[in-house]
Chain A
């Protein structure tokens, strides 16, 4: 059976959920071969095998951490040459997309980014994308070369599918460009203990209506009662009430959870671009005319300072 190359996103050997989702999609197209790079690469093998990787290629070298993007492109190219896959799947993170794009042009292939679904088709894999702030759904294909496709988080279920997961070291020769951009320092993001925004099943977001950094405690309390991640609108982020890393929208994170709860957010097109594909959408807003209400499955017209704490109490009571 044809092999599909899956680029692994991991932090020191801990595989991120979107990669396991990619393995589910990869199995629809062929036999997944995973590529894991950098510190801890070999430690990813067991979880990748549990989720369908027949083979795990690994490579570690200081270049992967010390220089931006290009060393990873060199490695992915080496993997494509070693495996001759029918497709290359990469998680749609900012870096993942850059790696995928550079690979595509190098190997003479087209690229489709931000797929939200993938199926096998007669002329190769068919990707579903959502366009124009998720108001359109398109089906796209790569028509030349080895299809390079990046896939958004939450696009497929994580499924166990035990496979051999044979670990092999991939020899990588670095290109002249590999050391062009130095990473002088790296400050890891502090963990909040809450789920990762893009991967969370439930996201609770606050906007300008939250009216102050200290009031985000109300949003966090609701999130914690539901085991959710916390998001924010750009207005809240620009006001300095919440970190930019939690911004949901066109220039923030794009989320697609089972449940999205927006409080004090009007629903501007740029915000909708990042959350419109959420399965169930709930909004709390004191303005009955707010555009967010056009999207909701359930909306409460009211003051978030009344509604949100009451909801949190009720959730905690029902759980307790």
Chain B
């Protein structure tokens, strides 16, 4: 029996670029290059490894985002995913995490799945809650924040390294999994992979395809609102000294002056 894996991948502004808010206090996507969220590469990698170990598996990569978000899908396809779904609709602009999880959940159901894999957090919103929300909405187990994952005989197992303990988890499929950047380096797309990706199918769905009303999503449909966004004032230039044998003592003097010692 075929194992249907859906990998959620987000298209995000390059974190090393100058990220800004637009006038409506959503992310300004005009001035910054976007890319596949680096943490979602780990999700694609684990999907590929799980598919390799299965008799028969199909990997669908899914994104919700503007037109450019296709770049994230291309990257995932060139790593080795089989097909892609792009959910795109003008009414999605400004959607909050509750709305995003609704759209993703509907798209996952429409695509068909046994296993959903996502990254631990996006590199822009960095909320780290979409996987838990998907499990809640889909009504399937969440097996999240895994630094090790395996799937065998319809059961997913993994290790979750938490704040106070490391846990071994187990759940039956279907399930939602999220993986951390400790789960194993993501592969680079090969030239062959890049060429093959050009021929792979990318489906485009809008809100109507997912039977979602426009007022359930978007800025107006969001259940949270950003009222203001201000750039943090640049830190006033600190004191910088060159160590000429006394650097440690000078630093101690500074720390004592600040009452840390």
Q: In the complex the two chains form, what is the Cα distance from A226 to B124 in whole Å?
A: 34
The contact sample of 11 A-B pairs, CB cut-off 8 A, is A94-B128, A98-B131, A98-B144, A106-B136, A137-B232, A138-B229, A142-B224, A180-B141, A244-B147, A296-B235, A299-B241
Chain A hits for B223, CB < 8 A: 104, 109-111, 142-145
Q: Which residues of A contact B1 (CB under 8 A)?
A: none
Which residue of the partner chain B has the closest CB to A179? B141
The docked-state distance in angstroms from the alpha carbon of A104 to that of B223 is 10
Contact at A102–B136, with CB atoms within 8 Å?
A: yes
| CA of A294 to CA of B238, assembled, Å | 8
With an 8 A cutoff between CB atoms, is B243 at the interface? yes
**Main SS class of interface, B:** mixed
A315 to B224, Cβ gap below 8 A?
no
Chain B residues whose CB sits within 8 angstroms of the CB of A297 once the complex forms:
235, 238-239
**A contacts with B, residue count (CB < 8 A):** 91
- Closest Cβ of chain A: how far from B24's Cβ, in Å? 13
Identify the 4 closest CB pairs spanning chains A and B, nearest first.
A302-B243, A310-B248, A110-B223, A180-B141
CB within 8 Å for A314 and B15 given contacts A94-B162, A144-B223: no
Interface residues of A (CB under 8 A from B): 11, 68-70, 73, 93-95, 97-98, 100-102, 104-106, 109-114, 126, 130-145, 176-177, 180-189, 198, 202, 226, 244-245, 250-251, 258-259, 269-270, 273, 280-282, 284, 288, 293-303, 306-315, 318-319
Give Cα distance in the complex from A101 to B97, angstroms: 9
Instruction: Say whether B139 faces chain A, with CB atoms less than 8 Å apart.
Output: yes
* Chain B residues with CB below 8 A from A245, complex form: 161, 163
Please determine whether A307 and B162 come into contact, CB atoms closer than 8 angstroms: no
Task: Kindly identify which residue among A198, A269, A319 contacts B16, using a CB–CB cutoff of 8 Å.
Answer: A269
- Which chain A residues lie closer than 8 Å to B132 at the CB level? 69, 97-98, 101-102
- Nearest CB of chain B from residue A270's CB, rounded to whole Å: 7
A136 touches B181 (CB 8 A): no
Q: How many chain-B residues does the 8 Å CB contact rule pick out?
A: 82
Closest to B156 in A: A181
Whose C-beta in chain A lies nearest to the C-beta of B258? Answer: A280
A110 and B245 alpha carbons, distance in the complex (Å): 56
A312 to B248, CA, bound (A): 8
Which chain B residues (233-248) contact chain A, with CB distance < 8 Å?
235, 238-243, 245-248
Bitwise interface map of B from 158 to 176 toward A, beta carbon under 8 Å scored 1, else 0: 0011111111111110010
Cβ contacts under 8 Å, B127 to chain A:
97, 101, 113-114
- Whole-angstrom CA separation of A190 from B39 in the bound complex: 28
Q: A177, B141: Cβ atoms under 8 Å?
A: yes
Chain A residues positioned under 8 Å from B39 (CB to CB) = 251
Option from B163, B238, B252 in Cβ contact (under 8 Å) with A315: B252
Given contacts A105-B136, A135-B231, A189-B166, contact A110 B15 (CB under 8 A): no
Is B196 at the interface (CB under 8 A from chain A)? no
Q: Are B182 and A244 neighbours in the complex by a CB distance under 8 Å?
A: yes
Tell me if B255 and A105 are in contact (CB < 8 A).
no
- B238 pairs with A187, CB closer than 8 A: no
Name which residue of chain B comes closest to A138, CB basis: B229
Tell me which of B120, B172, B260 has the highest count of chain A C-beta atoms within 10 A of its own C-beta: B260
Known: A11-B164, A306-B247. A140 touches B238 (CB 8 A): no
Complex contact B15–A181 (CB within 8 A):
no
A105 and B124: CB pair below 8 A? no
Residue B133 at the chain A interface, CB threshold 8 Å: yes
Is there contact, CB below 8 Å, between B226 and A140?
yes
Residues of B contacting A126 in the complex (Cβ-Cβ under 8 angstroms): 227
Contact of A140 among B101, B169, B224, B254 (CB under 8 A): B224
Bitwise interface map of B from 3 to 36 toward A, beta carbon under 8 Å scored 1, else 0: 0000000000001100101000100000000000
User: Does B2 sit at the interface, judged by CB under 8 A?
Assistant: no
Is B46 located at the chain interface by the 8 A CB criterion? no
Interface hub of B120, B137, B163, B231 (most chain A Cβ within 10 A): B163
A319 to B19, CA, bound (A): 44
Shortest A180–chain B CB gap in Å is: 3
**CB-CB < 8 A to B15: which residues of A?**
132-133, 269-270, 273
Across the interface, which residues of A come within 8 angstroms of B243, CB to CB? 300-303, 306-307
Pick the residue among B167, B172, B255, B256 that contacts A259 (CB under 8 A): B255
B251 in contact with A112 (CB, 8 Å): no
Residues of chain B lying within 8 A (CB to CB) of residue A306:
243, 245, 247-248
